[in-house]
């Protein structure tokens, strides 16, 4: 067993304990599995790649994941890092891969060999378990706090605070046949473990990292419960106005509960950004942008227009940002495809890219018509070369499922959703603890 901890003025710690399987009441402290310094970061390029480890760990985990090809076990930790004071990340969920060796005193030492971010948004307190009913895969859950962060009147109006994100499958993600970049991205300390392969005198690299994706069965169940399903044709999208998604009749699609997937096979050299727009009002007053910046190697979720509550200064609208960089494939000398999955459930937005990037956030549109969904490409004319596709991005496949959960798929959902008896109108009367019941707001002794 590992716990989260820290020593003031020294650094975060991951205490390690053991117990005989015959008696789970007797635990022995074996020392700290891992002893990083204060607010360290592992990657050569710093927090942009692997985050900052802060001064204290919360909800730590320690487990192995097997390589699919040969069954080799690799050791991973996950933890919540507190106090790093990075913009937008007072705390965040991180992961490490490490080597494990025995200590002379019978304890175990852990040495980091790769590190990354489990979620670039506010999904936190991530814990995992071994799913023995499904080939011993490892499943992870995380918790997304509501934006009010103690804003009591708004929390009461919403009727709850916090939600679980989609359950994720953890695995070793391997990309074979890649080459390094001019700036030696794969040669630096970061989130990848790299090995060299040689065939007929030609050297290529295999890069592996911690992979995570929503559980396939959950995705299938959610999409199977959708009331609407749409497929959009392959084609190059050029800079211009936002392409709002429509149905076959040409009517704009509106939804605040949907799943969107897209494969982007080409991003022109002069594309400065491409992105998706969700929870948008018809006039664009309210909208949330999910943007990929190819030259910055960043994915950002812009929330400054996500709600009128931001302009009224009831809520903050900070931008969520995270590192994502496609690898270069040796056989094509071009970037790998970018596979995007976006899930929106009311205020909750979850974004997954290429099984190695995830970001979760909350938005609170005030207008009832803020349900539009769109896609756009933005070009930078100063970077345009001789090729006509320099400012375009090619969508190979884009699909949309709307109204998730409105049509129950009994075969896959067991006859109901997570809360099958939840009323469609959640504005039912709330239960509130009175001052008399709580000792005038004293929830427990010493608070």
Q: Which of 62, 101, 61, 108 is nearest to 80 (CA)?
A: 61
Chain centroid to CA 247: how far?
29
- Return the pLDDT at 315: 83
Distance CA 250, CA 244 (A): 10
CA 243 to centroid of chain Cα atoms:
25
Element (H, E) at 40: none
Beta bridge partners of 112: 98
CB-based contacts of 172, cutoff 8 Å, min separation 6: 65, 66, 67, 68, 74, 208, 209, 210, 211
Least confident residue range of 150-159, 196-205, 323-332, 417-426: 417-426
Per-residue pLDDT tens for 126-157? 999 999 999 999 999 999 988 766 565 666 66
b/e per residue 352-368 (b: at least 16 CB within 10 A): bbbbbbbbbbbbbbbee
pLDDT in tens, 356-412: 999 999 999 999 999 999 999 998 866 655 455 588 999 999 999 999 876 654 444
pLDDT band, residue 424 (cuts 50/70/90): low
| pLDDT, position 331 | 92
pLDDT in tens, 157-208: 666 778 899 999 999 999 999 999 999 999 999 999 999 988 767 899 999 9
- Could you give the CA distance from residue 190 to residue 287 in angstroms, rounded to a whole number? 34
What is the C-alpha separation between 256 and 259, in angstroms, rounded?
Answer: 10
In 3D space, the residue among 131, 137, 124 whose CA is nearest the CA of residue 164 turns out to be 124
Please tell me the distance from the alpha carbon of residue 316 to that of residue 306, in angstroms, as a whole number.
10
At 443 the pLDDT is 59
Between 316 and 319, name the one with better pLDDT.
319
pLDDT band at 431 (very low <50, low <70, confident <90, very high): low
pLDDT of res. 87: 81
Q: Residue 407's pLDDT is what?
A: 62
**Rounded percentage of the chain residues whose pLDDT exceeds 70:** 87
Is the predicted pLDDT of residue 419 greater than 60, yes or no?
Answer: no
Task: Based on DSSP, count helices (H) and strands (E) in the chain, helices before strands.
Answer: 6, 28
Distance CA 230, CA 261 (A): 11
Q: What is the CA radius of gyration of the chain?
A: 23
pLDDT of residue 412: 43
Kindly tell me if the per-residue pLDDT of 442 is higher than 80: no
Q: What DSSP string runs through 87-102?
A: TTEEEEEEEEEEEEEE
Span 29-38, average pLDDT? 93
* Low-confidence winner among 11-20, 116-125, 235-244 (lowest mean pLDDT): 235-244
What confidence score (pLDDT) does residue 122 get? 94
- The pTM assigned to this predicted structure is 0.90
| Torsion angle, alpha carbons of 360, 321, 150, 362, to 10 | -40
Mean pLDDT (the chain) is: 88
Overall average pLDDT of the 56-77 stretch = 94
Looking at residues 224-248, what average pLDDT do you find?
91
For the stretch 259-271, pLDDT in tens is 999 999 999 999 9
């Amino acid at each position: 067993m590992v716990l989260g901890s820290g020593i003031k003025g020294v650094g975060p710690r991951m205490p390690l304990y053991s117990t005989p399987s015959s008696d789970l009441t007797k635990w022995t402290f074996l020392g700290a599995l891992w002893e990083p310094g204060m607010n360290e970061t592992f990657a050569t390029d710093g927090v942009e790649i692997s985050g900052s480890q802060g001064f204290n760990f919360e909800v730590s985990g320690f487990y192995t994941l097997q390589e699919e090809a040969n069954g080799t076990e690799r050791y991973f930790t996950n933890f919540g890092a507190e106090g790093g004071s990075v913009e937008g990340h007072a705390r965040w969920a991180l992961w490490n891969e490490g080597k494990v060796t025995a200590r002379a005193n019978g304890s175990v030492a852990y040495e980091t060999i790769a590190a990354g971010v489990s979620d670039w948004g506010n999904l936190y307190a991530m814990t995992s378990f071994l799913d023995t009913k499904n080939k011993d895969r490892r499943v992870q859950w995380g918790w997304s706090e509501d934006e009010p962060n103690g804003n009591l009147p708004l929390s009461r109006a919403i009727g709850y605070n916090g939600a679980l994100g989609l359950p994720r499958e953890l695995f070793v993600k391997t990309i074979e046949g890649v080459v390094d970049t001019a700036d030696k991205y794969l040669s630096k300390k970061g989130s990848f473990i790299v090995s060299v392969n040689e065939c007929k005198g030609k050297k290529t690299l295999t890069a592996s990292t911690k992979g995570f994706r929503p559980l396939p069965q959950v995705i299938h169940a959610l999409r199977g419960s959708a009331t609407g399903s749409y497929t959009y044709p392959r084609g190059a999208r050029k800079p211009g106005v936002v392409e709002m998604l429509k149905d076959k009749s040409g009517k704009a699609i509106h939804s605040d509960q949907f799943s969107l997937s897209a494969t982007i096979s080409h991003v022109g050299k002069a594309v400065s950004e491409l992105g998706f727009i969700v929870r948008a009002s018809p006039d664009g007053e309210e909208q949330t942008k999910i943007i990929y910046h190819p030259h910055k190697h960043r994915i950002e979720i812009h929330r400054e227009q996500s709600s009128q509550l931001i302009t009224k200064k009831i809520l903050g609208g900070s931008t969520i940002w995270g590192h994502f960089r496609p690898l270069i494939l040796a056989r094509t000398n071009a970037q790998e495809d970018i596979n995007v999955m976006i899930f929106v459930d009311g205020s909750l937005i979850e974004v997954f890219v290429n099984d190695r990037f995830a970001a979760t956030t909350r938005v609170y549109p005030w207008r009832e018509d803020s349900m539009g969904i769109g896609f756009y490409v933005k070009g930078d004319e100063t970077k345009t070369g001789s090729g006509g596709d320099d400012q375009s991005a090619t969508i190979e496949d884009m699909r949309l499922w709307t109204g998730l959960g409105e049509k129950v798929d009994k075969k896959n959902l067991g006859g109901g959703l997570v809360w099958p008896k939840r009323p469609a109108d959640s504005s039912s009367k709330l239960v509130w603890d009175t001052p008399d019941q709580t000792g005038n707001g004293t929830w427990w002794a010493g608070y």
